[in-house]
Structures are given as C-alpha cells and as structure tokens.
Amino acid sequence: MKSDSRSFDYEPVLRSPARPMPSEPEPVKAGSTLRHKLSEKPASPELAEQVEPKGTGQIEMELCGPARGHSLTFAALFVYSAIAYFRPFDLSPALSWTFGLSFWIAIAMVAIFVPSQVMLEGRLTARPREVNLVLLLGLVAIISIPQAISLELAWKMFSTTFAKTIIVFIVMVNVVRTELRLKAMMLLTLVAGGLMSTKALIDYAGGRTGGYQDRVALGVSNMFGEPNSFALHLVLMLPIAIALLLSTRTVFRKIVYAAGILVMFAGVLATQSRGGFIGLVASGLALTWKLGRRQRMLAITLFLVAGLAAVVVAPAGFEARLATILNISSESSASARQALLWRSISVALHSPFLGVGIGNSEIVLIQGQVSHNAYTQIAAEMGLIALAFYLVLLFTSYRKLHNIELECLPQPHHSRYFYLSIGLQSSLVAYMVSSFFLSVAYDWYVYILIGYALAFRRIYAGSKTNRIEPQLQG
C-alpha cells in the first residue's frame, strides 16, 4: 500500500476542541494529518457512510495513517528481533562474535528512537489504550518490587524480561508505521517459525530430542527452546500465516505460505504440547467461524477434516497425552499443574493488591515451581488490579480488531484488511487459551501480537484517510 506524500506522523491522542464548520472546504496543508477533518461533519450522506459505516461503528482514529520516520530505528528493531530469534552464536562457533551483539543493538535502537520520536511527535510514545495499559502493568511491577519477598528475584524478572518486553513494545508501536514494515516483522516471525520447525522436525526424525524424550525440541536455546514455548509461538503465528495466504494473489506466495503452514502445524503436533494443541483448536474454531460466515457447513467440514488429519499424523503417544486433559489424575505432570493452579489462586487471594512481588511466585508455590498460568502468574505476583489491566489489554485489542473486521466485511476492496484482522484476532484467541497453561505474562508473545494489531490499525486508519481526503478537499 502506498503512503500518501502528505501523510506524516499521527497526532497525539487528544480530543480536539469543537470548531465551527467553515463555509468553504479548507485545503489540506502539506505535512498535516486529516484527523481533525474526520472529526467534522461530512458534507454529504455518502461521505458520512464512509466515515462511519452503518451498523459497524466508527473505527477509533487514535492511530492515524502511515507516516514517515524512524527508518534507522526500525532497522535496529528488525536486526534485534532476528538475533533474538535465531541466536547465530548458538548455530556456529564462527559466529561467536555475535554474542552480546543484541544488547548493543538494543542500546543503539533506544538511543536513536528517543530523539527521533521527540522530534517527530514531541512525546516519547503514542498513547492508545493498549500502550497505557502496558505502562500501567510496568508501573505496578515496579511498585511490587520493594515489598517483594525476594528483592533479587523481583528485580531480575523485571530488568531481564519485563522491562525489555515493554521497551520493545513501545518502540514497535511507534516505529512500525507502514504496511511494508508490518509485513517485514510478520514475515520475520513466520520465517523463524518455519525454519525452526523444519530443523526441529529433522532432529526429531533422527531421534535428537534434546532431553525431552518423545517431544520435539530446538537446538537453539532461545525463548522457544522449550517444547511448550515453541508450540505457543507456532500456534500464534499460524493464523497470521493463513491470513496472509488468503490475502495474497500471487500463486508463488500462496505456495510458500501453504508450505510454511504445514511445517508449523507439524511442529505443533511434534511438541506434544497440550496447551499448544488446545490453543490451536481454539484459533482454528475462531478462523472457521469468521471465515465461514456464508458457508458454515463447508467451513465446519474443513475444520473437522483438519482435526482428523492432525489425529492421523500426530506422533505416537500424543493421544494418550491429550487424554490427560480430561483425566488429570492419570498423569503426574498434569496433576502437579492442577495443584500449582489452585495454590497460585490461593496466593493471589491472600495478597490481592500487589501480590508477592514480580517473579516471586516460585517462593510460595509448590517445590519452587512457577504457576504455569499467565493469569494466576500476574494475580499472584502483582495483584488483582494488575490482572484486571492485563485482561482489559487482551480484550481491548481483540475488540478493536473485531470492529475493523465488521467494517471491512461488506467491502470487497478491503479483503487484505479483513483477512488480517481475522488472523490477528485468532492469534489473540490462541494466546488467551494457551497462556492458561504457561507462565508467559512478561514475555513478548502477546505484546508482539498487540504491537502488530496497533500497527495494523494505524495502516487501516491511513487507508481510510487517503480515500476520504479527495472528497474533503471538494
């Protein structure tokens, strides 16, 4: 999508004071946005329907269209993400010099971002609701540190994980300004998922499971080195890959996306992750329901066929592992996780305001284990208010994507926006379900998804602005 030459940065999210309508249409000045134009009353019923379609509600214009700027920061963000995914120093001794490189790239990224952002917008970050909620979570985490049971554990979790996640999220929200940049970030995560799945499946076929017995594991010790985390990443990326497959018109790209989808799907099954499989089913149901509006029976049939294929190609023993979801007492790890769940809920109820301190749940849970549940992780470590912020963050992002889906539904020329809004929603559904079985509240899984959603909303808002602009100029 080409960006308009007159479209630069989006303005701060503030309510503009009411202004009287001019008698003549005002020309649009170069270098300005059209947000104030969209807040005025359209001159015709046809234009009014474009600004606020009937029955769907107006998409919030808190993030205006694609804007120029932050090219160097985006390059640093992309390289930083690539190193975090692939960890080249783990792949070959010849690349050992890259160890620690991500730290210096992150420092350079922030050093470039801060002055650039202030010059472009006069503030450190855009402030849609999701950003405010993430900042509030960060604030609660900081407040929880002084009263934590272990200051060392609390500071370690905040400084090494959550603070980095928040910084990357803030940079991503402000830097990913164009469709090209958004697709580049998405393709990076998809390529990482596809290549890691291919390598893991090859190792699995050769009996190299990395100490996880019959479960596939990665030879790269990144954030996906553990089977459940690896499954979560693949489950979150699959709906996005399907959305890109449906939205592209190029046969070659469709083949590439289809191959990547099959490899990642096989990777999820090979991890034998129960939480990953349940998230996969949930996202599949969401995709089926939304994409099959006009042909429900066909969509449901395809979903059932895919489920049958999963059962057929699943590795030996996976069915017995899935059966423990319903019969928890039949498997020791399932019983242990159930006990951890109840214990973490009890801790949250006994420390409802600030919890026991970020990263401190292992002290009060059973045998030094973590909660294996993102929701009780936040509730036990940072309190019920933090949990409320977290839930609002998830459902706010989902609701706004759903609004775009409804607005694009009757408009065929919006197909790529329609499919991507559904793909991102389904990924969020997958996270909401799968994170019930993993302690990933501070890792960047969901924050990357919400960053994608915010960038997508900015691009979609810009497309609306560019279509309405000629009519506003009269």
pLDDT at 56 over 80: no
Q: Considering just the CA atoms, what is the radius of gyration of the chain in Å?
A: 23
* 435: nearest Cα among 231, 284, 265: 231
What's the rounded Cα separation, in Å, for the pair 418 and 21?
Answer: 34
How far separated are the first and last CA of the chain, in Å rounded?
24
**Residue labelled with tokens 């002055």:** 115
**3-class DSSP assignment, residue 184:** helix
| Average pLDDT score, the chain | 80
Instruction: State residue 13's pLDDT score.
Output: 36
What's the rounded Cα separation, in Å, for the pair 167 and 109?
Answer: 10
Look at 11-25, 154-168, 276-290, 301-315 and tell me which has the smallest mean pLDDT.
11-25
pLDDT tens digits along 87-102: 887 777 787 888 888 8
Confidence of residue 112 (pLDDT cuts 50, 70, 90): very high
Its sign, for the CA torsion 392, 394, 400, 405, is negative
Please state, for a pLDDT cut of 90, what percent of the chain lies above it: 43
pTM of the model: 0.82
* 264: nearest Cα among 199, 181, 186, 188: 199
pLDDT at 57 over 50: no
Instruction: State residue 163's pLDDT score.
Output: 95
Entry field: residues in the chain: 474
pLDDT at 21 over 50: no
**Could you tell me if 177 and 244 are in contact, meaning their C-beta atoms sit under 8 angstroms apart?**
no
Instruction: State residue 331's pLDDT score.
Output: 64
What's the rounded Cα separation, in Å, for the pair 171 and 134?
Answer: 13
pLDDT tens digits along 387-443: 999 999 999 999 999 999 998 888 766 678 999 999 999 999 999 999 998 889 999
Instruction: State residue 28's pLDDT score.
Output: 41
* 240: nearest Cα among 85, 429, 63, 464: 429
Q: State the maximum Cα–Cα separation within the chain, in Å, rounded to a whole number.
A: 76
pLDDT at 66 over 80: no
Position with higher pLDDT, 266 vs 222: 266
**Residue labelled with tokens 């350079």:** 108
What's the rounded Cα separation, in Å, for the pair 69 and 74?
Answer: 9
Q: How far is CA 14 from the centre of its chain?
A: 26
Instruction: State residue 199's pLDDT score.
Output: 82
φ, ψ dihedrals at 76, nearest 5° = -65, -40
- What is the CB neighbour count within 10 angstroms for residue 371? 27
Look at 111-120, 135-144, 203-212, 351-360 and tell me which has the smallest mean pLDDT.
203-212
pLDDT at 247 over 80: yes
pLDDT tens digits along 29-55: 444 444 444 444 444 444 444 444 443
